Amino acid sequence: MLIRRETPDDIRAITDVTDAAFAANPGGEAWLVAELRADTGWLPALSLVAETPSGELVGHVVCTRGTVNGAPALGLGPLSVRPDHQRQGVGKALVHAVLGAADALGEPLVALLGDPKYYSRFGFRSAADYGIEPPNPEWGPYFQVRTLHSYSPNLRGPFRYAEPFERL
């Protein structure tokens, strides 16, 4: 499997993978990815795909510009893996790759809303441990942060995702 940056030719396949991964919410996450792609918070270097040796796209992850108390940070999501390739390490490879790319770009942290059991394996911890407040207080332990090398402990306060997340 190859993890690489998305290209314009991948957009249709990304939509298909996202729709398949989130079949219980058809169009929701695919709509979000399209809206993020058109937003000022879109960071092309942090939209990655997983491709099989035969060139088939089977996964996608994206980080977009967020803020903590107005300072730059990243929001991760959606993470999508085609159902027939789930539980085979595709999601794990995508998350590791996007975290490495974000760190190489000098980003301080990545925040997300997700299952703590899954994301703790990547070093995510409750955002509350870092004094970072979720956009929705009801998210509690599901709102998590992974600090990177440029992180500073004075980065505290409310987190805000890229604008399209606010329209969900």
Q: Which two tokens stand for residue 138?
A: 């009801």
For residue 149, give the DSSP letter.
Answer: T
The half-sphere exposure of 141 on its side-chain side, counting CA atoms within 13 A, is: 6
Map tokens 């390490």 to a residue: 89
Q: Please report where in the chains the tokens 């990815």 appear, as a residue.
A: 33
pLDDT band at 168 (very low <50, low <70, confident <90, very high): confident
Tell me the CB-side half-sphere exposure of residue 161, using CA atoms within 13 A. 24
Q: What is the pLDDT of residues 3-44, one digit of tens each?
A: 999 999 999 999 999 999 999 877 789 999 999 999 999 999
pLDDT at 124 over 90: yes
Each residue's pLDDT tens digit, 43-88: 999 999 999 999 999 999 999 999 999 999 999 999 999 999 999 9
Are 33 and 18 in contact by the 8 Å Cβ rule? The answer is yes
